[in-house]
A and B are shown apart, each in its own frame.
Chain A
């Protein structure tokens, strides 16, 4: 695509002389079934040149499936596909790229042991006449690209040395480097901090001005209103409606997404606060965080806020013995306990829902029962080594019903569940151990509004029953809505604990970015 300056493109666009067809992409009546599941049912979707079109819907609504079809990863069972007015058929992701459709995946697809430059130009390396890669040229192009996008990274860094947020920026740069007409972004901000999100939005606006059409999948409402021109809502594999972003309200969209009204996002109930369950004194993990002290009482929800990389998750991992503390003390019910491994923490009544569902939560290849029962097995439920299958199965069934895990049966491999349902299975895993102290790291990351509300309700219920909850979250409304007190961290230090009544977004952000 020829690069014209943003201002020129804007003038052309405003004059109405948009070249070619009005719609960059028109997908109609698409149907896609997976064994046992109709993922998309007669779905249509249109994307205008120079517009950001947001896709909203609960997890499992079919957004990602549709995007994978547009990006050539899946082939639809039926339906038509028009690119700039021309009927085309995609057979592979490479095909899609050649047609000018690039996608930034939800999962990071970078190669850890290769440099940033190698990752970006993979398969498109500049070659010399002998077929060897011209590293200098590749570096130069990367520098140029980064300058254009204002990304302050060294092209020679190996990807494994980058933070998750920087990796995401590399992914974005890679997708932009294709100079494609259509750019699909699948939850690009889930690993980004506010500042980087702003940066991404600047990039998006520049691309828009060049006439690129952007499909933007997100769960975050405020992003939608900030960046999107249109919004399409999906539910249960069906297209529900398309609206101009300026014409709808947040509540209307939520209503469309879930098909019912969510009366209250954060149903905080006042729980009786009991004795101190967990007391942390001057906890330190060399190189990650230091000087963390707090008391957590029974029935209390202690929210933990801070930017990504502030050491929040490290504190959680240390409390649970995944990375034992280098100094400081952890007291449970007033008794000091050396927590050297997760087993010790579990025996002391703790449970830990990790931040990364895929990396440290799910056993993706195994079925739901295997995933749910694994923590429980430590606490008995076995006679002479033999697992009491029937009893455990009944317990799993009970949890499945209680948390409303949507699955045909417990023998379903967990990989086939949506993010929200996977998260419910992991929560069930820990609830089955009847914890007294519950550590939650991003309990609702990447899951849909409906499941989110259910999980919030559950956390509140647990607090009312006297469970002490330590909850890390990147979403300020969630922290503010759920917590009794909020612990804020910044660059490995605890910068303050704020009471619910004094907590505002501004106050928390001040502490988090001191």
Chain B
């Protein structure tokens, strides 16, 4: 009531013309560019070469974040809806194993399923996606129907899915994958898949009923219910999409590594959450954008490759990365508070 706009009614028409809201991603985009320039300068100072003008490095930088990015696309939607998904990394491990077991070459004699070798890559991909979808369905159903906090439900899935991954081959990696499957992770494909799903869900969030409902539930679940939204169904749907995308990320990772390993994806969920949060999503729900998340993922990538480029020890990298994530959120909070004028 205090920051009441109605008192400004007489001037509102005048202000209307000059008042176009800037997209909130601009500031985070500026941070991204600033970071690149910083590494550029540091590069010339300490390593004697350019950070940006190196296509190979840029490619590696984008590739390593593509898998996180695919997960982050799902996680962003979960966060906008006021939830959280801690299970993504474990689901990556689980789908990696299941997809890999169906993608082995026909000539390999010690295959997991000797009768199911040399399959068309459609089968391992479909199995991986279904696996992610089921994990998401369980997450969503637990949250929507038993009303337990998303943190707990997905924490349970995080532990269990990792268990499934380990149990599947008793921890043995699955190798000898077919070339046609490996092609999915080759070249620019991971990046194309990442940007593709980001684009699809960017459109979905902004222009479809699905998106409007997601924001509404995150902003006020009770009001959403009173407005006739089937909140339970929508919550399940969003977690299923998040699971599906985790599965997709697991497939891409397996194809890129050309091997299925039960231990992959550890910590991916946190990187994905970090990407979303750096990109402006609010953990209390109702706020967030896919474009921001993409930029957030790229920022994480710049950090990793920038430090590697400067030969910073990996341990220091992690320490600094943690600080940057927190700083991003603090800066964002500060900005929002200033905007509210309080």
Contact, CB under 8 Å: B1 / A59: yes
Instruction: Produce 1/0 per residue, B214-254, CB < 8 A to A.
Output: 01100110111111111000000000000000000000000
Contact of A34 (CB < 8 Å), options: B223, B227, B341: B341
A36 CA to B19 CA, complexed, in Å: 10
A387 CA to B208 CA, complexed, in Å: 5
Contact, CB under 8 Å: A364 / B19: no
| B181 interface residue per 8 A CB criterion | no
| A336 interface residue per 8 A CB criterion | no
| B115 interface residue per 8 A CB criterion | no
Contact of A322 (CB < 8 Å), options: B2, B209, B225: B225
| B21 interface residue per 8 A CB criterion | yes
| Cβ-closest chain A residue relative to B284 | A365
Contact of A386 (CB < 8 Å), options: B5, B21, B208, B213: B208
For B342, list chain A residues within 8 Å (CB).
73-74
A73 CA to B341 CA, complexed, in Å: 11
Contact of A363 (CB < 8 Å), options: B19, B220, B225, B282: B220
| Cβ-closest chain B residue relative to A350 | B228
For A106, list chain B residues within 8 Å (CB).
1
For A370, list chain B residues within 8 Å (CB).
212, 215-216
Nearest CB of chain A from residue B261's CB, rounded to whole Å:
38
Surface stretch bound by A, among B7-15, B159-167, B289-297, B298-306: B7-15
Beyond A341-B230, A418-B1, is A386–B219 a contact (Cβ under 8 Å)? Answer: no
Nearest CB of chain A from residue B107's CB, rounded to whole Å:
46
For A74, list chain B residues within 8 Å (CB).
2, 342
Beyond A64-B2, A387-B207, A408-B15, is A374–B227 a contact (Cβ under 8 Å)? Answer: yes
Instruction: Produce 1/0 per residue, A408-428, CB < 8 A to B.
Output: 110110001111110000000
Nearest CB of chain B from residue A370's CB, rounded to whole Å:
7
Contact of B219 (CB < 8 Å), options: A352, A363, A408: A363
Considering only residues 9-29 of chain B, those with a C-beta below 8 Å from chain A are: 9, 12, 15-16, 19, 21
A48 CA to B16 CA, complexed, in Å: 43
Contact, CB under 8 Å: A64 / B1: yes
Beyond A370-B216, A377-B212, A409-B19, is A363–B1 a contact (Cβ under 8 Å)? Answer: no
A388 CA to B21 CA, complexed, in Å: 22
Beyond A36-B15, A360-B222, A365-B287, is A382–B209 a contact (Cβ under 8 Å)? Answer: yes
| B146 interface residue per 8 A CB criterion | no
Contact of B222 (CB < 8 Å), options: A38, A320, A359, A364: A359
For A386, list chain B residues within 8 Å (CB).
207-209
Nearest CB of chain A from residue B231's CB, rounded to whole Å:
9
A389 CA to B3 CA, complexed, in Å: 28
Contact, CB under 8 Å: B208 / A360: no
Contact, CB under 8 Å: A374 / B229: yes
For A377, list chain B residues within 8 Å (CB).
209, 212-213
Nearest CB of chain B from residue A410's CB, rounded to whole Å:
11
For A411, list chain B residues within 8 Å (CB).
21
Chain A count of residues within 8 A CB distance of the other chain: 59
For A481, list chain B residues within 8 Å (CB).
none
A237 CA to B7 CA, complexed, in Å: 7
| B54 interface residue per 8 A CB criterion | no
Nearest CB of chain A from residue B217's CB, rounded to whole Å:
9
Beyond A363-B216, A363-B286, A370-B216, is A408–B6 a contact (Cβ under 8 Å)? Answer: no
Contact, CB under 8 Å: B223 / A362: yes
Nearest CB of chain A from residue B236's CB, rounded to whole Å:
15
| A291 interface residue per 8 A CB criterion | no
| A343 interface residue per 8 A CB criterion | yes
A65 CA to B229 CA, complexed, in Å: 36
Considering only residues 185-227 of chain B, those with a C-beta below 8 Å from chain A are: 204, 207-210, 212-213, 215-216, 219-220, 222-227
Contact, CB under 8 Å: A61 / B19: no
Contact, CB under 8 Å: A346 / B12: no
Instruction: Produce 1/0 per residue, A74-91, CB < 8 A to B.
Output: 100000000000000000
| A211 interface residue per 8 A CB criterion | no
| A354 interface residue per 8 A CB criterion | yes
Beyond A60-B6, A360-B226, A375-B228, is A382–B208 a contact (Cβ under 8 Å)? Answer: yes
Contact of A417 (CB < 8 Å), options: B4, B19, B226, B287: B4
Contact of A409 (CB < 8 Å), options: B16, B209, B228, B341: B16
Instruction: Produce 1/0 per residue, A227-270, CB < 8 A to B.
Output: 00000000011000000000000000000000000000000000
Considering only residues 50-75 of chain A, those with a C-beta below 8 Å from chain B are: 59-62, 64-65, 68, 73-74
10 chain-A/chain-B pairs, Cβ below 8 angstroms: A36-B19, A59-B4, A60-B5, A64-B2, A359-B223, A363-B216, A363-B219, A364-B219, A374-B212, A375-B228
**Chain A interfacial positions (CB closer than 8 Å to B):** 34-39, 59-62, 64-65, 68, 73-74, 106, 236-237, 320, 322, 341-343, 345-346, 352, 354, 359-366, 370, 373-375, 377-378, 382, 385-387, 389, 406-409, 411-412, 416-421, 429
**7 other contacts beyond A36-B19, A366-B215, with CB at 8 A cut-off?**
A342-B228, A360-B226, A363-B216, A364-B220, A365-B282, A374-B227, A378-B229
Q: Which 7 A-B pairs have the closest CB atoms?
A: A60-B4, A363-B219, A406-B6, A408-B12, A34-B341, A365-B286, A418-B4
